[in-house]
Structures are given as structure tokens and as C-alpha cells.
Structure 1
């Protein structure tokens, strides 16, 4: 096996004869594009490409496998780039937390058993932390960034697909919201960063978007809900209207704590299993409505009030959950996935390890140390302020947007 004394972009002895492909962490759009792009490029460079199934669990158990799937032309034909999820399978396993003191030797034995010289690993920040760990232990590997949360320092495959899916779900829910005059709350993935909730909500014309970067001021939220919801219904000839909120699962209340129905339950990487933000927001809004005499009067004027039966508007939370991750992949993510999968193979073959592919731009492969790439990136609050001037509520009293003008010259690079 080719090895390196260091990591973070050091040049190793080349070249690769065989590589293993791992997808890890949460599933999302674009992963099959990574696998296909890697397999096709490996073929072109005379490298054997094999799937190591079940993420890092599969890597740990590799020494016990009898065979691996070889990605030849025929097998690669069955890897559909447009399908979300991954033919390679996933698991949430952190190698360093496995209580086996011989775990790295065990992994090396598995790699030697199948004559694998390096690993292309696609995943998010947790997956990337293991890439750093493996590289430090002499295992050649390159990280292809993947997370629908979009919280890496680079763009990550799966983000665009998730944003499009969230947007479609929110748009579709407006029909039931308007039919029943409901306030609709859609809770989406994102953990500790609000990128997908932010962009998906903006794309669907959501009225309110709550993200982890901003502690919720319920008075500000309630004022916005009441203003738009009541105006729409009272000004409608059929007394019909709705109000739509998109809530990131990691949103925080006034006490600065995350909402979680799972108590202190954590995954293998130590993250609290977040759930229940939408339900919490709903109960708070319902409680404020019950205490508000203007809501009671509104219900009477609009013809909806029924004593003891229907005294406040319906507020419903919807949790699309894994539907946001599943189904199809956006064209952007297919393109990006193929590029980073292919680029990862080339980096390995050129002797580079412990790095994350950033992008392929004008045919140039850009990369950075994985330890730097996995540092969490939050939503830029200047962008939030920009949308607040369009009267989107972000769970706080709107901040004044101060424009900064910048003239650009020359070709503009991709922005995602």
C-alpha cells in the first residue's frame, strides 16, 4: 500500500492500483454521482475501483469480507447518478470511538487483503473527521464533501437536491394550508446550521424561516404571523389564506437550548438527536393565540369561530424527515458529484491524501486540508438581513440592511 508520513496534502509515492469507495453519514442526493464519477475515472486511469459497503462499519469489518463489488463497466452502468442515496450504503460509525485498541491495524489488514492502496470517502463533517483520523494513521484517503446541511467550508453534494425538495414540499403544503386556513410549520433537517431551511424557505416564499443561528424571539414571530395571516383571510373574497413557516431542527428558544424530544439521546458522534422543534413552535404560537383577544375577534369576523370547538386558527406542524433526503438528485448535484468523485481518484493517484475536494474549476482540481474543510460554517447573518428587507421573518425583529456595492470584473466563478 502507498502510505505517507504526513497528511493535509503531502505528496506520497504514486500510483494507485486499486481504491476503495466509501459513502458515510446521512444519505442524500448526489452520492451515486460521486461513485459513478470515481468509477469511470478509475477505469480511465487503469485503477481498480471497489465498493466498501456500509460506511465505516464496512471499513472496520473489511478484513472479514469474502469479496467486494468491483466497479467494472457493466456494474457501473447500474449506478444511476440521478437516484438519491448510495449504492455503497451508509452507517454512522466513528472509528476512533470503537473500543478495539487494534482497530487501525485491523483496517490496514482489510485493505491489504483486497490490495486497496487508497480510499475515496464521501460524507460530511463527521465523516471528514474520520478521514483526518485515518490519514494520521497512515491510510491514504481523499474526502469528497457530502452533506445536505451545507455546513462545510466547501459546497457539499446533496445540498442543492435538499433545497429543491424542501421548496417543493413547502409549496405543496400551501394548498392544504389555504384550504383549511391553517398556519403550516415545516420542520426540516440541518442540525446546527440553517442553510437548507434558509434557502429552501426562500425558494418557496415562506413567510417565516427559523434557523439555529438566531435565537427565537416569539413576540416577533407572533406579530408577523398575526399580521400576514389575518390580512390574507380578511382580504380574501372566500375568506381563505395561510401562513407558512420553515423551521430548522436545530432552532433554539429563548433559553438558548435546542428543542429535542429525544432527551439526552446521542448518536455515535456525540450529537443530540434533534426532534420536536416544529411541535414546540406550534404549541407556543397556539398558546399566544389563546391569550390574544384580537384572535378571538378575528375568528368571529371571518366566520370561523365556534365556541368550545374552533376558537383559534389551526396550527399544524409537518416533519417530512427523510423524504427531504430521498428520491431524485438535482442536475447541479449530479454534475458536482461526478466532478468531486473523479477529482478524488485523480488526487489519490497523484499522491495526495488527507484532503477534501473543493471543486473542479476550468479543469483545475481545487482541494484543501480536510481538517480545515470540516470546520462548521453557519448562515451569514448579513444574508439574513438582506432577506429581512423583503419582510421575511427570521425569528427576530428585523435588522436594517446596509447595502455594500462591489463592481465585479472578469469571469465570475460558481457561487454555491
Structure 2
């Protein structure tokens, strides 16, 4: 048996732990050969891969990023020639299947490739925690920890200067990072894509805190938008499967709030620091479990499926069910109720 493994989309803490677990599980359980495909689907198109043995994946569980490299602009399904090249290389390498580690875009490509005869197994990866059918993806816990620390740090400077401190998180169209980190980091307001915020309601929170505690900390997801407004788009990438890049809503909110407040308003966009560095122990364990379960799907011949977490149990779902879909924060989620009940503003009137 010869199995390929690739990492697609953006980088994420825990990718190497999955690569390690897939490789070691397949080698240990059935003596399989594992081929690491470089730079995601781009390597499959261009024919770039290297063998992964036991030594190649040892000592990488705590390393951030991906030893294989990744690309979020390569889609073999985009043109007939790229599809033909990808399938030709899979045949030349004599691959029995490919384990694709990535987000909803990668899962969409993986599902499409199965329709052309390449057997695929998916592993959900995203710091945004927004993959349909999966309650928790690896990388998310690390991102929440990083944002939480940032919120704690801006609180001390905000308190010292009597400022309103806005911290912008990643998350695309889902507010999971901002919600969990906002609660963990004791933010006074948490603004999410799922709930359009009212500028005056947020300003009222800041004015009340001006009189009482001098400072306010606001955690805002990059996909949040004001009532009646639009999301803040940083740029568009026409050659990417995910062409819209959100960013800058913290600066937009600062401009909206400043005329209504005496306090100085400062904005911080955390950006890619949320995706870098070593994964937390939780993410290392989850990624390892996902990788091992992906190997099991391969060994059982269960293809066109993605490993998932349901409650505390590993399972799998059809790739078609998750391809290109986003899991957003439900409006009746217990964490939203908790935030409201402890006095955290969600930007509502």
C-alpha cells in the first residue's frame, strides 16, 4: 500500500502532528509506504513529493506550520490540464489513496478529486473552527490561547492610559475565536459575524466604563459588521479558491466609536500570529487522534470521507457534506447566553 499525504490551505498549528500520526499509524499497522506531497495540491499538479519514513516524521509533533509546505491557490479542478497532471502524478506514484489535511476549501477539492477516481480521506484543519460537521478542529485551541493572551496584554495598557482597546481576531465568517477568546480574556464586548453590532450600543458600554473603570476591551471578529453595513474586505485574490480576504474591521470600529467617546480608542489587528508557533497540548493530542483515525479510514477502505469529532468521539462524515460549507456560531449557543448573563456586550441594543 502506498498513501500520499498533503496539507492544503493556510498553515495551522498541529499540521505536523497529523502528518506524524498518519505516517506512523500506516507504517506501524500495515507497513505502508507514505509519500509526502509538497505544497498541497500544487505539489500534486507539479509532481513534487518525497518519501516519509519513521525518522522523517519524528520530533515534529510540537513544531508549528507544516514540514510539507502548503498552498491556498492551487486547485487541480480549475482546469483540464491541471486535473490531468494531478491524476497522472497520482498514477505514476502508484498511490492507493491520498490523505488531505485542510479546511472547507481543501475538502471541496478532495471530494471533487474522488469523482475523478482518486481515493481521498479528509482531515479537518482550521484555526477558525468553522468546518461543517466537526465540533472542534485542531489549531483552534492554539489560536484561542494566543488571542486570550493578547487581550490580557492590551487590558493592562488600556487600564494605564484610560483607553478603549479593540483587538481583531481571525475567523472569516464565523465568530468562534472571538467568542471563546473574548470570554477567556475577559473582554467587555465581543462582536461576531453572527450578530450585527449597533455602534451606539457599543459606545454606551465604553462611556459607562469611562466613569467606572477607565478602560474597555473589545474583541471583534474579522467578519463582524455594523447593523446595516458590510463586512470589511482587505483585498480580493481572484486566483484563490477563497478570493475574499477580510481584515481591518477593528480600525473601522475605532473610527465609528471615537467621535462618541472621551477616551482614546486604539485598534490592534492580530493577524497571522494566531496561526503561528507551536500547538497547544490539546491541539497536539487532537491532531494526533485525527491523523490516526484518518489512517484507520484508509485501512478500512472508507474513502470520500472526513474524520470528525462529535462530542468526545471520533467519527467520519462524507466529504460532500462538508465541502465548501461553514459552521457558524448558533444564535442559541450556550456561550452567547453565558456572555450576556455575565454582562458582556454583544453589540446588541
Q: Distance in 1 between matches of 2:223 and 2:274?
A: 16
Where 1:73 maps in the other structure, the secondary structure is coil
Cα displacement (A) at 1:161: 1.1
Q: Indicate the residue corresponding to 1:370 in structure 2.
A: 319
Matching residue within 28, 39, 51 for 2:12: 28
3-state SS of 1:281 partner: helix
| Aligned residue pairs, count | 343
Name the counterpart of 2:137: 156
Query: Deviation of residue 183 (structure 1)?
Result: 0.9
Compared with structure 1, are the counterparts of its residues 322 and 329 closer, same or farther at alpha carbon in structure 2 (3 Å cutoff)? Answer: same
Distance change (3 Å), C-alpha of 1:250 and 1:360 = closer
| Equivalent-residue separation in structure 2 for 1:184 and 1:120 (angstroms) | 42
Taking the TM superposition and a 5 Å limit, the aligned residue runs for 1:1-400 are 17-44=1-28, 45-62=30-47, 65=48, 68-78=49-59, 80-95=60-75, 98-99=78-79, 101-152=80-131, 153-154=133-134, 155-233=136-214, 242-262=215-235, 264-266=236-238, 268-289=240-261, 312-359=262-309, 366-374=315-323, 375-383=325-333, 384-397=336-349
Conserved 8 A contact 2:8-2:100 = yes
Deviations 1:211-267 (A, max 9, x none): 10011111111111111232113xxxxxxxx211111111112224111243x5556
- Retained in 1: the 8 A contact 2:77–2:113? no
Please, what is the CA RMSD of the aligned residues? 1.8
Partners of 1:208 and 1:111 lie apart in 2 by 50
TM-score normalised to the size of structure 2? 0.93
Which residue is 1:410 aligned to?
none
Structure with greater Cα Rg: 1
- Which has a greater percent of strand? 2
**C-alpha displacement of 1:21:** 0.9
Deviation, 1:95, is 2.0
User: Does the Cα contact within 8 Å between 1:189 and 1:248 map onto a contact in 2?
Assistant: yes
Q: Once the 2 structures are TM-superposed, how far is the Cα of residue 281 of structure 1 from its aligned partner?
A: 0.3
CA change 1:200–1:315 in 2 (3 A) is same
Residue by residue over 1:161-186, the C-alpha shift from the partner in whole angstroms, topping out at 9 and shown as x without a partner, is 11111111111221222222211101
**Contact 2:167–2:219 (Cα < 8 Å) also in 1:** yes
Q: Is the 8 A contact 2:143 2:274 kept in 1?
A: yes
State the secondary structure of the residue aligned to 1:76.
coil
User: 1:192 deviation in Å?
Assistant: 0.4
Secondary structure in structure 2 of the residue aligned to 1:200? helix
Alpha-carbon contact 1:339-1:360 (below 8 Å) kept? no
Equivalent-residue separation in structure 1 for 2:303 and 2:209 (angstroms): 53
**What is the distance in 2 between the residues matched to 1:81 and 1:18?**
23
Structure 2 unaligned residues grouped into runs of 5+: none
Q: Partners of 1:73 and 1:270 in 2: how far apart?
A: 34
Q: Alignment partner of 1:391: what SS?
A: coil
2:5–2:37 CA contact under 8 A, matched in 1: yes
Q: Conserved in 2, the CA contact under 8 Å of 1:140 and 1:348?
A: no
| Paired residues for 1:398-413 under 5 Å | none
